[in-house]
């Protein structure tokens, strides 16, 4: 590690960001609160992060001229999602401070590389096979069925994957996915899913937030509850494994690793995200240092903040479906869009913290914002979440 990699940047320095979504928006706001200016590179002129950034370079992530401008303007650059070209991160790393590096992002971009890396660390994943052709399905271990066929790249929020009961379904799913490289993963006997969120600095210091318990609906994160109500031994095990993975990757930045907890008490890695994560949004309101502030601290070379949980919390995702009448039998396209009654909800639940992402166009399944419900106990936080769901018309 060079001295320049760890030297703190002075306030009013520029921090660069590849990506313009809501994670970038919240990073920009956290960085600005610390006194930094933020330049976003993103091809969407109306991106949520660009709306709050101090400067916006509207260009593709691989645009060499735009990357050169970003490098010249910003002594340090980060990313808000893993599907930026790792070559772009390498280009920027040759000119300044980058977190995370291209090698770490390249691992997380590809499920095949990711699972092989995790197993190389001596840590379990669900049983799986690499699928690069129909012939690989034909010769796959029968014990992998029933399973889930997942595209190796670009899948998120349940997209790019299909449940398959047998070989014939797997072959059809493989064709439907366009014959791209996939993993065929055995469906495990799942008790729950949890995530470990950590931050690691250029000086190799590391902090870990309390483990969060995640619930998904239709492949999209529905709620995250922190701290997770799970066996403390299981919690300690997943934290230890997450630390080991981060150290093995020489990772720098904020990293989220999702784990399956099986009914027999064992754990295995599901996937990882080399960035702040939806399951860590509760840290904005219920942790001493949020995941986004931590990301800015790492990038700026500042000491890591304390990740203490100040109170139990539940994060509830707000999807675009809420902007439409769920009781209507008309198609979504013919329904009239309406804004949920946020004022009434906040009046009823003063303990609720509302975060909207500035997206102008709601769509089914699109993450438009989230609520954090904070309580004196896990029970009161959960009760507040249940009440919020009832007020918004979200089925329990």
* Cβ count within 10 A of residue 146: 12
Of 67, 90, 65, nearest in space to 17 by CA: 67
What's this model's pTM, rounded to 2 decimal places?
A: 0.94
Question: 222 in a domain, yes or no?
Answer: yes
Residue 114 lies in a domain: no
Please tell me the predicted confidence (pLDDT) of residue 158: 59
How far is the C-alpha of 144 from the C-alpha of 142, rounded, in Å? 5
What is the side-by-side strand order in the sheet with 128-131? 128-131, 182-186, 147-151, 161-164
What value, to the nearest 5°, has the Cα angle with vertex 322 and ends 316 and 323? 140
pLDDT band at 86 (very low <50, low <70, confident <90, very high): confident
Is residue 302 one of the residues assigned to a domain?
A: yes
Q: Is the pLDDT of residue 317 over 80?
A: yes
User: What's phi and psi for 137, nearest 5 deg?
Assistant: -70, -40
Asked if 222 and 240 sit in the same domain, the reply is yes
Question: CB under 8 Å to 362, separation ≥6 — which residues?
Answer: 320, 321, 322, 323, 324, 337, 368
| Residue 96 and residue 70 in contact, taking contact as beta carbons nearer than 8 Å | no
Nearest to 361 by CA among 83, 84, 48, 60: 48
Indicate whether 353 belongs to any domain. Answer: yes
Do the beta carbons of residue 230 and residue 194 sit within 8 Å? yes
- List the Cα angle 73/20/317 in 5-degree steps: 145
CATH assignment of the domain containing 50: 3.40.50.20
Residue 85 counted as domain residue? yes
At residue 217, the 3 state secondary structure works out as strand
Is the same domain home to 318 and 251? yes
Same domain, 293 and 379: yes
Kindly tell me if the per-residue pLDDT of 332 is higher than 80: no
Cβ(77)–Cβ(71) below 8 Å:
yes
Q: What is the pLDDT of residue 2?
A: 44
3 pLDDT above the threshold of 80: no
| Assigned domain for 116 exists | no
Q: Is the model's pLDDT at 312 over the cut of 90? A: yes
pLDDT at residue 297 tops 70: yes
- In terms of Cα–Cα distance, which of 331, 328, 349 is closest to 392? 349
Say if residue 297 is in the same domain as residue 353. yes
What is the DSSP code string of 240-290?
A: HHHHHHHHHHT--EEEEEEEEEETTS-EEEEEEESS--GGGTTHHHHBSS-
Given pLDDT bands bounded at 50, 70 and 90, which one contains residue 5? low
Are 211 and 341 in a shared domain? yes
Strands 220-226 and 367-374: unpaired
Average pLDDT of the chain is: 94
Q: How far apart are CA 243 and CA 192, in angstroms?
A: 21
Residues 177 and 198 in one domain: no
The Cα 251–Cα 219 span in angstroms is 27
Q: Is the pLDDT of residue 268 over 70?
A: yes
Between CA 98 and CA 101, with CA 99 as vertex, the angle to 5 degrees is: 80
| pLDDT exceeds 90 at position 385 | yes
Decide if pLDDT at 295 tops 50. Answer: yes
pLDDT of residue 1: 42
Do both 277 and 326 map to the same domain?
yes
Residue 76 lies in a domain: yes
Question: Could you tell me the CATH number of the domain that includes residue 156?
Answer: 3.30.1490.20
Q: Does one domain contain both 259 and 382?
A: yes
Tens digit of pLDDT for each residue in 191-208?
999 999 999 999 999 999
Query: Minimal CA–CA distance to 80: which of 107, 99, 57, 104?
Result: 99
pLDDT confidence tier of residue 368, bands split at 50, 70 and 90? very high
Residue 219 lies in a domain: yes
Check whether 350 has a pLDDT greater than 70. Answer: yes
70: containing domain? 3-100
Is residue 77 predicted with pLDDT exceeding 80? yes
Tell me how many domains the chain contains. 3
| Last residue within a domain, chosen from 167, 186, 205 | 186
Contact present, 163 and 146 (Cβ < 8 Å) = yes
Higher pLDDT among residues 1 and 353, named by residue: 353
CB contact at 8 A, 265 and 200: no
**Looking at 100, 135, 150, which one is the last position of a domain?**
100
Q: Are residues 370 and 338 in the same domain?
A: yes
- H or E element, residue 346: helix 342-348
- What pLDDT sits at residue 330? 53
Q: For the residues 348-358, what does the mean pLDDT come to?
A: 97
DSSP string, 59-94: S-TT-HHHHHHHHHH-SEEEESSTTS-HHHHHHHHT
Give the tens place of pLDDT for each residue, 123-144: 999 999 999 999 999 999 999 9
């Amino acid at each position: 590690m060079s001295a320049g990699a760890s030297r703190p940047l002075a306030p009013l320095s520029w921090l660069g960001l590849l990506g313009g979504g809501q994670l970038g928006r919240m990073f920009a706001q956290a960085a600005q609160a610390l006194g930094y200016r933020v330049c976003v590179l993103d091809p969407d002129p109306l991106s949520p992060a660009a709306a709050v950034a101090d400067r916006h370079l509207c260009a593709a992530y691989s645009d060499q001229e735009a990357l050169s401008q970003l490098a010249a303007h910003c002594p340090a650059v980060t990313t808000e999602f893993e599907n930026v070209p790792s070559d772009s991160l390498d280009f920027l790393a040759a000119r300044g401070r980058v977190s995370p590096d291209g090698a770490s992002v390249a691992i997380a971009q590809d499920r095949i590389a990711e699972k092989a890396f995790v197993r190389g660390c001596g840590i379990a994943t669900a049983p799986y096979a690499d699928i690069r052709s129909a012939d690989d399905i034909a010769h796959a271990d029968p014990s992998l069925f029933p399973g889930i066929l997942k595209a190796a790249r670009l899948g998120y929020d349940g997209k790019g994957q299909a449940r398959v009961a047998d070989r014939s379904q797997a072959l059809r799913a493989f064709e439907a996915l366009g014959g791209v490289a996939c993993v065929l993963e055995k469906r495990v006997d799942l008790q729950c899913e949890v995530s470990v969120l950590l931050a690691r600095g250029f000086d190799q210091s590391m902090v870990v937030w309390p483990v969060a318990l995640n619930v998904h609906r239709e492949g999209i994160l529905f709620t995250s509850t922190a701290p997770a109500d799970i066996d403390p031994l299981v919690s300690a095990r997943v934290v230890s494994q997450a630390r080991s993975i981060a150290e093995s990757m020489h990772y720098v930045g904020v990293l989220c690793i999702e784990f399956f907890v099986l009914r027999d008490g064992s754990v295995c890695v599901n996937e990882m995200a080399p960035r702040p994560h939806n399951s860590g949004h509760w840290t904005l309101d219920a942790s001493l240092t949020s995941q986004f502030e931590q990301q800015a601290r790492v990038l700026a070379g500042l000491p890591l903040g304390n990740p203490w949980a100040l109170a139990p919390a539940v994060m509830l995702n707000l999807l675009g479906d809420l902007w439409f009448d769920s009781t209507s039998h008309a198609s979504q396209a013919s329904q009239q869009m309406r804004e949920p009654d946020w004022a009434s909800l906040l009046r009823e639940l003063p303990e609720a913290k509302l975060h909207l992402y500035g997206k102008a166009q709601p769509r089914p399944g699109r993450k438009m914002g989230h609520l954090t419900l904070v309580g004196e106990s896990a029970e009161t936080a959960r009760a507040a979440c249940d009440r919020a769901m009832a007020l918004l018309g979200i089925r329990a």
